[in-house]
Chains A and B, each alone.
Chain A
């Protein structure tokens, strides 16, 4: 992929707001994920992180504001159009085609994104590291949760996206499996030149990977900057302590 192509694929959210009926999820949020860059997103449960990804991919409509991928305005377009343009997401829960083998799942991802098998060859080292090659012919939905989650991530990457939106990729993984996420994100950036928006609760991962994070809370973007610095700001700590227990444990270790 040339530099030229990369520069046209930055993801830019411009003063976006979303409400469901009377419920305001967030308001006046702006940020940019540079082409090939990496931006972390943190915030307590219910802050609207998943909703934001749903808006970027076109599953939900925006209440106001706009979203640009490179030069193209993408909010309000259909999910598959955005995916074919290179904006692809992963899901917070496992999302695979149940009842089909690992191979069929990956082949489907290739077919739907109009890629050929060579992408799979390039992904092979990663697939091997995750343990997916060992399970190549296994029915995907009887595999352990961690493997299913990694399969979902591998499928997103198999579409060779320009911009990956990862919704809590480490959620539900064992501590020992979490290094896979590091490998995955690095691989996506270095081998495929993807930009990555990483929504994650695991602060260790965020600190290891992200040069920069944004913090969402109470419907606003409350902080932005390098993770260690941002996480030491008092109002960010407050936002987390006000959240549920789950995030407390994540932020303290």
Chain B
């Protein structure tokens, strides 16, 4: 029973990490209509920036996380306004440039830091225990930070004018522009917000999970799984799906072992595609 609860806690903290990634991913899709193949790249690069600031430069870890977030937001802003913006009308071209940018990012990391995983330990060690339940402090801190970030994103999306503009755009682009919202001006902002989140997640999570140039691949695949499950473009759908994915992964790792967890998830996604193609909370596929 205790290990069941402990595994649940791990699942929830995994879920909160996936939520941050999936929220960014789904915001970019909802607002810009772009599938961001570079999302995993921002995650990994965030991890490396934090590693460089914290381990090499000796800056405090929280500062390193902030710097990772800001630099990835800045990089996202630049990428969006210099490259993505120019092809934003052509969905296939947006796919190509984000994919190309991911390859460039991954190669750049490889050239700068090498293929070896660097030593990037979480600064806080130790385990919290209550009876038979163990939960590492590191996971607890990450969980707290992720939950705070999720609350921040929800506040931004549902309580501010910027968020209202973003939601209007993800629901109906022509209407939003007709209402005089500065559609285009929101694009780089939304993109930077999402990539900043990805970078911050990388900075927080890679010390616990793994830091290596290629970990972005699987992050991307998991983001895809999450949004297919939750419904592409749905903020709440992404959140629910991310926690489902996290819990399944955690329990499968303990009780089934190996990569069975991933296979379970794939099976789940296939079933979802059969019975509810628009995802758990996606709207009826819109045809106009």
Contacts and interface: CB of A to CB of B under 8 A. Distances in A.
Direct contact of A and B (CB under 8 A): yes
A207 interface: no
A209 interface: no
Contacts of A59: 287
B170 to A, nearest CB: 16
A54 B288 CA distance: 9
Interface in A190-240: none
A142 to B, nearest CB: 19
A6 interface: no
Nearest to B283: A21
A60 B286 CA distance: 10
Contacts of A60: 287
Interface in B236-288: 287
Interface string A88-132: 000000000000000000000000000000000000000000000
Interface of B: 287
3 contacts: A54-B287, A59-B287, A60-B287
Contacts of A54: 287
A59 B287 CA distance: 8
Interface residues of A, number: 3
Majority-rule SS of A interface residues: loop
Interface in A156-175: none
A56 to B, nearest CB: 14
A40 B29 CA distance: 41
Contacts of B287: 54, 59-60
A73 B287 CA distance: 22
Nearest to B287: A59
A239 to B, nearest CB: 24
A59 B286 CA distance: 10
Interface in A23-74: 54, 59-60
A45 to B, nearest CB: 14
A96 B287 CA distance: 18
A60 B287 CA distance: 8
A136 to B, nearest CB: 30
B276 to A, nearest CB: 16
B242 to A, nearest CB: 25
A59 B288 CA distance: 9
A222 to B, nearest CB: 26
A61 B24 CA distance: 33
A233 B174 CA distance: 36
B223 to A, nearest CB: 28
B90 to A, nearest CB: 14
A221 to B, nearest CB: 24
A193 B287 CA distance: 31
A54 B287 CA distance: 10
A60 B285 CA distance: 11
B175 to A, nearest CB: 13
B99 to A, nearest CB: 25
A223 to B, nearest CB: 28
B3 to A, nearest CB: 44
A230 to B, nearest CB: 30
A110 B287 CA distance: 25
Nearest to A54: B287
A75 to B, nearest CB: 15
Nearest to A61: B284
When A and B form their complex, which 3 residue pairs have the shortest distance between CB atoms, in order from nearest? A59-B287, A60-B287, A54-B287
A59 B284 CA distance: 13
Nearest to B286: A20
